Amino acid sequence: MNNFFWNNIFKKTRSECELITEFWQQTPLFKNIPSRHIHTLSENMHVRNFQADEVVFRQGDQGAGAILVLEGQVKVYANNTLLSDLDKGDFFGEITLAETDKRTADACCIKRVDWCTSSNRTWKNGLKLSHTWALFS
């Protein structure tokens, strides 16, 4: 069913998916997970562009998933205390994947940022992909 029209309208470009897969593969969360499973997960992740000084989320906001920094720099604060300074390849907001749908800190872009987000349902579906993923369920 490889159709030029449908592929171009509905599919992510291969390089974008591969880039996201590559980044996630380097995080501790996806250590020892087969790349084809991460690739399947990456197909349902969303790339967003944020400008410098733009707020990604605030403490108490409802959050839908974890965020991976593809490019740029993000600072995460809780009660005006800097918690972490994130760079290309780092991820944050993973608490909403497991515990609560409320953001527990503020996140603000320092440089222009491209990030990709992965919702908790994508993760839950992904967890069922392989028995090796039972570790996270």
Residues at the interface with another protein (CB under 8 A): 1, 6, 9-11, 44, 46, 48, 50, 54-55, 57-65, 101, 117, 119-121, 125, 128-129
Residue 86 DSSP SS3: strand
Helix H or strand E segment including 109: strand 106-109
Q: Which is nearer to another protein, 61 or 71 (CB)?
A: 61
Q: Which is nearer to another protein, 26 or 103 (CB)?
A: 103
Q: Which is nearer to another protein, 54 or 87 (CB)?
A: 54
Least distance between another protein and beta carbon 2 (Å): 10
Residue 54 DSSP SS3: coil
Residue 106 DSSP SS3: strand
**Which of 39, 73, 41 shows the shortest CA–CA distance to 56?**
73
Least distance between another protein and beta carbon 30 (Å): 18
Least distance between another protein and beta carbon 89 (Å): 21
Alpha-carbon gap, residue 86 to 90, rounded angstroms? 6
Least distance between another protein and beta carbon 119 (Å): 5
Q: Which is nearer to another protein, 26 or 60 (CB)?
A: 60
Give the Å distances, CA to CA, from 104 to 5, 39, 91.
43, 29, 15
Least distance between another protein and beta carbon 126 (Å): 10
Q: Which is nearer to another protein, 26 or 54 (CB)?
A: 54
**Which of 28, 21, 25 shows the shortest CA–CA distance to 47?**
21
